[in-house]
Amino acid sequence: MAAGTTTAEMTSAAPVTRRRTPTGDAIRQLRKNKMAVVGLIVILIMIFIALFVDTSLFTFFTGGKAQPLIAPYHYAEVDFLHANAPPLTRTEEGKFYILGTDYLGRDNLSRTLYGSRISLSVAIVAATVSLIVGLIYGMISGYGSAVRDNFMMRVVDFLYGFPLIIFIILMQVYFKALSATDDTNPFVAWLIRIDDAMGGIFLVFVAIGLLNWLGMARIARGQTLSFKRKEFVEASRSVGSNDGRIIRKHILPNILGPCIVAETLAIPGYILLESFLSFIGLGANPPTPSWGIMISETYQAMRVAPMNVFAPAVALTLTTLAFNFLGDGLRDAFDPRLAD
C-alpha cells in the first residue's frame, strides 16, 4: 500500500516520496517494536509446526494415514520399556528421545509439537467466533435506536453477572457425559460426532466462544456509537445510502481495526482457558496431546521425570508470551491513544 505513488501527491508534498496511510504508519510502528516482531516470528514458526507436524495436511486430500513429519514419532506411540526416560535417551531399537518420554513411554518432543495444534486452533477459532458474534451484536446494538441499544446492553450486563466459567464447566461435563452414552437426539449425536472427530476440543471452542463475546460486543458497540455520528456517515446518508451500505462501507471498516487489536489481546486468555479445562480433565480427550493434559498427567511424578512437565510448560508459556507481545505491539501501533 505504500508503493503506489502518484504525481499529484508528489507535487503536493515534494520531500515525501512515499504515500503515508494510517495502516502503513501502524505497520512501520509495529516493525520498530522488536518484541512484537519476535512474538510474530514465534507464532509463525508455531503455525508452521502445527501445519506440518505430520502429513495430515496432505493425506486430507490424498487419503491414507498421516505420518509424522516434523515430529519424530506419532503422539500416541507407546514404548512401555522406556517409560519416563530422561532426555537424550537412545534405545536398543534405535529410537532417540530428545526430551525423554512420559509415563507411557510416549515421546515428549513429539507430543509437545503436536500440542501446538490444539492451542493454536483454540486461539484462531475462539478469536474468530468471539470477534464475529461480538461485532454483530455490538453493531446491531450501537447502530439501532436508543431503546434497542439500552435493552441489548442490559442483556450483556446481565450475562456479565453470571459466573460463566462455572457454566462452561457444567456444559463441558454435560457434553463429556453425553459422548459416553448413545443419545438418540440427532442434533446431539451430530455435535458429538464433530467433537470426537476433533479430539474433544470442538466443544471447548463452543464454550470459549460463548464466554468471550461480551467484551467484544461492548467494544464494537462503543465504536459504532462514535462512528455513526461522524460527518462522513451523515454525508453518505445524504447521498442516499441505506443502513446496510453505511454499516458495510463506513462503520465496519472503521471499527474493525480496534476490534481486531482487542481480540488479539484476548487470545492468550483463550489459550490459558483451554489448558485450564484440559488440566482439570474437561478439555481434549486423551490421547490427543494438549499441553494442559500433558501437565496434569505428569506433574505429580515431577520428581522422577521433570521434563514431562517442563516440555509442555515451556511451549505453553512461550505461546502466551508471543501472543502477549504481539498484542501489545499491535495495540501500541494501531491505537496511538493507548501508546505512551
Partner 1 sequence: MTAYIIRRLLYAIPVLFCIILVTFLLARSLPGGPFDRAGDKTLPESIRQNLEAKYGLDDPAYIQFANYLGGIVRGDLGPSYSYRGRSVNQIIKESFPISLQLGILSILLAVIIGIPAGIIAALKQNTWIDYSSSFVAILGVSIPNIVLGPLLIYVVSVQFGWLPAARWGANYKQFYFGWIPPMTKDFWIHAILPVITLGTAFSATFARLTRASLLQTIREDYIRTARAKGLTEYGVIMRHAMKNSMIPVVTVFGPLLIGVVTGSFVVERIFGIPGMGEFFVTSITNRDYPIVLGTTLLYSVGLVLANIGVDLAYAWLDPRIRYD
Q: Does 330 interact with partner 1 (rule: CB under 8 A)? A: no
* Cα 261 to Cα 335: distance, rounded to the nearest angstrom: 9
Q: Does 313 interact with partner 1 (rule: CB under 8 A)? A: yes
Q: Does 163 interact with partner 1 (rule: CB under 8 A)? A: yes
Q: Which is nearer to partner 1, 170 or 194 (CB)?
A: 170
Residue from 97, 213, 325, 334 in contact with partner 1 (CB under 8 A): 325
Window contacting partner 1 (CB under 8 A); options: 110-118, 124-132, 143-151, 161-169: 161-169
* Cα 156 to Cα 154: distance, rounded to the nearest angstrom: 5
Tell the burial category of 272 from Cβ atoms under 10 Å away from its Cβ (0-12, 13-18, 19+): middle
Smallest separation (angstroms) from partner 1 to the CB of 322: 9
Q: Does 261 interact with partner 1 (rule: CB under 8 A)? A: no
| Contacts (CB under 8 A) with partner 1, residues 276-305 | 276, 279-280, 292, 295-296, 299, 302-303
Site string for partner 1, 50-79 (x = CB under 8 A): ------------------------------
Q: Which is nearer to partner 1, 226 or 300 (CB)?
A: 300
Query: CB-based contacts of 280: which residues, under 8 Å, 6+ apart?
Result: 169, 296
* Cα 204 to Cα 331: distance, rounded to the nearest angstrom: 27
How large is the angle between the packed helices 252-279 and 164-180, nearest 10 degrees? 60
* Cα 172 to Cα 238: distance, rounded to the nearest angstrom: 51
Q: Does 204 interact with partner 1 (rule: CB under 8 A)? A: no
Window contacting partner 1 (CB under 8 A); options: 131-139, 145-153, 176-184, 190-198: 176-184
Residue 150 and residue 158 in contact, taking contact as beta carbons nearer than 8 Å: no
Applying CB under 8 A, the site for partner 1 has a residue count of 42
Smallest separation (angstroms) from partner 1 to the CB of 77: 25
Q: Does 266 interact with partner 1 (rule: CB under 8 A)? A: no
Window contacting partner 1 (CB under 8 A); options: 5-13, 20-28, 172-180, 192-200: 172-180
Window contacting partner 1 (CB under 8 A); options: 62-70, 138-146, 247-255, 273-281: 273-281
Smallest separation (angstroms) from partner 1 to the CB of 278: 9
Smallest separation (angstroms) from partner 1 to the CB of 85: 18
Q: Does 33 interact with partner 1 (rule: CB under 8 A)? A: no
| Contacts (CB under 8 A) with partner 1, residues 220-259 | none
Q: How many CB atoms sit inside 10 A of residue 111's CB?
A: 29
Q: Does 166 interact with partner 1 (rule: CB under 8 A)? A: yes
Give the three cell numbers for residue 239. 447521498
> Binding residues for partner 1, per CB under 8 A?
158, 160-167, 169-171, 173-174, 177-178, 180-181, 268, 272, 275-276, 279-280, 292, 295-296, 299, 302-303, 306, 309, 313, 316-317, 320-321, 324-325, 328, 338, 340
